[in-house]
Structure 1
Amino acid sequence: MSDLDATTPRVFLARHGETEWTKNGRYTGKTELDLTPDGVRQVTSTAAQFVGHRKLIDPAHVARVWVSPRKRTRQTFRCLFDCSDVSIADNKVTFTEDITEWDYGDYEGLLVGEIRAGRVERGLDKERGWNIWRDGCEGGDSAQQVTGRLDRLIAEIRDIQRPYMNGEKPVDVVVVAHGLILRCFVKRWLGYPLDMPLTLMLSPGGIGILSYKNRDIDEPALFIGISIPPLED
């Protein structure tokens, strides 16, 4: 049995397109930013190639969509599915804070170098350097808080997909969110703590894919490559 069998339920991770702060590396949590024109093009290009009838993300096969309620992710959701030839019913779409970006608290809008320098000035990190996966953010989310909300969402997804592991009906899921929280999502999907070293990348407007090995709900997996469905004749 192929691990690429599309009848096994999948979770598609969609990162929002570029914003001005994405371009310059500023930590963007609750700040409301629009997609740049390039960000819109990133998402619409992804949608044109991968979303639609008999494409990688076939809306007819999607059971649920979870979207972060930030403006940039709402825009991304619309760009992904408005171009599709099959629409997503409103009752399948949930906007939830469970998948919003890590709350950066006092670090909102800062660069990594500025955060680290500020912590040193305040007498922090004397024994080891700051690591968001382990230390969280002053005035914002801790790793434990992020883990809790992601685990809650993952449990809901698995409850939906568990009865259909052998393709009884299509129950793919789409999660539209942010760069850091989606990398956190991957770690928790695989059962890893957030501070486990696992370097992951997901481009703005990009799509990542999770599923299950051997059609087993207890073997969650990360696709490192996937074949693209053939174009319709």
Structure 2
Amino acid sequence: MGDLLLVRHGETEWSAAGRHTGRTDLPLTAEGEAEARALAPFFAGRAVSFVLTSPLRRARHTAELAGLRDAATDEDLCEWDYGGYEGLTTARIHEARPDWSLWRDGVPAHGDGRPGESAEDVGRRADRVLARIRPLLADSGEDGVVVAHAHLLRVLTARYLDLPPSEGRLFLLTTATLGRLSTEHGLPVIAGWNQRPLPRGGAGP
């Protein structure tokens, strides 16, 4: 069975400022584009069975700049819908709710009628993605790649490990870094995490 390589998109203006960026479709910054291009040597010449990406342009552009140009989009890979907390920093939220935790408390509804999502909601989307991916990894024996967003990928990792979605809180993932989900003796494991990969032949995931 192949491994699943997870790539968080490069920097955006809001990610650099620590603002919750769910469905707001921001572009990469110049630094984010440079981060994404730095991934390309790692993927050059690497056989993968599939590439999936969030439909949001920060993820799609990261995939393109990393040399992953045949990516298919999957709506279930969109970032957590932050509802009424879209665009806010955690520090700003804590001014009104000092004990607030995204993982435990979720988010309030947005004024336009969007309810936002809980960790369990995002977990259900992650489960659907994994259900589609696992047969592809098993049949090909090659690695697969998912390019998406920090909180979505953290939840997906928790579910891959058979943990509750809220345990995604344990897996910090910075921009344009890579994680590797694998198996050992038939059990799911993390083989690499939050790494800036080097080209093949060097150290890295």
TM over 0.5: yes
Q: Aligned pair 1:222/2:200, yes or no?
A: no
Matching residue of 1:67 = 53
Write the distance in 2 (CA, Å) between the matches of 1:150 and 1:230.
Answer: 32
Structure 2 length normalisation: TM-score?
A: 0.85
Tell me which residue corresponds to 2:112. none
Identity of aligned residues (%): 37
1:211 is displaced (CA, Å) by 1.1
Which of the pair is proportionally richer in strand?
2
Q: Which amino acid aligns with 1:52?
A: A
> Are the equivalent residues in 1 in contact too, given 2:50–2:144 (CA < 8 A)?
yes
Q: Which runs of 5+ in 1 are unaligned?
A: 1-7, 83-87, 121-128, 164-168
Unaligned runs of 5+ in 2: 110-115
Q: CA deviation at 1:197?
A: 7.4
Distance 1:47 1:102, change over 3 A: same
1:203 counterpart (157, 174, 179): 174
Distance 1:170 1:160 in 2: 8
Equivalent runs, 1:89-104 vs 2, <5 Å: 90=70, 93-104=71-82
Instruction: Report if aligned partners of 2:155, 2:166 keep a CA contact under 8 Å in 1.
Output: no
Q: Does 1:108 align with 2:86?
A: yes
Q: Greater CA radius of gyration, 1 or 2? A: 1
Residue aligned with 1:81, SS: coil
Match of 2:113 in 1: none
> Is this contact kept in 1: 2:8–2:177, CA < 8 A?
yes
| 1:108 to partner: Cα distance | 0.4
Cα RMSD of the aligned pairs, angstroms, is 2.2
1:123 corresponds to which residue? none
Q: Measure the CA separation in 2 of the matches of 1:38 and 1:135.
A: 32
Q: Which of structures 1 and 2 has the larger relative contact order (alpha carbons within 8 angstroms, sep 6+)?
A: 1
Report the TM-score when normalising by structure 1: 0.76
Query: What is aligned with 1:5?
Result: none
Cα 1:118–1:177 change in 2 (3 A) is: same
Q: Is residue 43–residue 206 contact of structure 1 (8 Å, CA) maintained in 2?
A: no
Partner residue of 1:85? none
* Post-superposition CA distance 1:58-87 (Å, at most 9, x none): 1xx2111111111111110110116xxxxx
Match of residue 127, structure 2, among 151, 168, 178: 151
Q: How many residues align?
A: 193
Give the distance between the partners of 1:43 and 1:185, measured in 2 at CA: 21
SS for the counterpart of 1:223 is strand
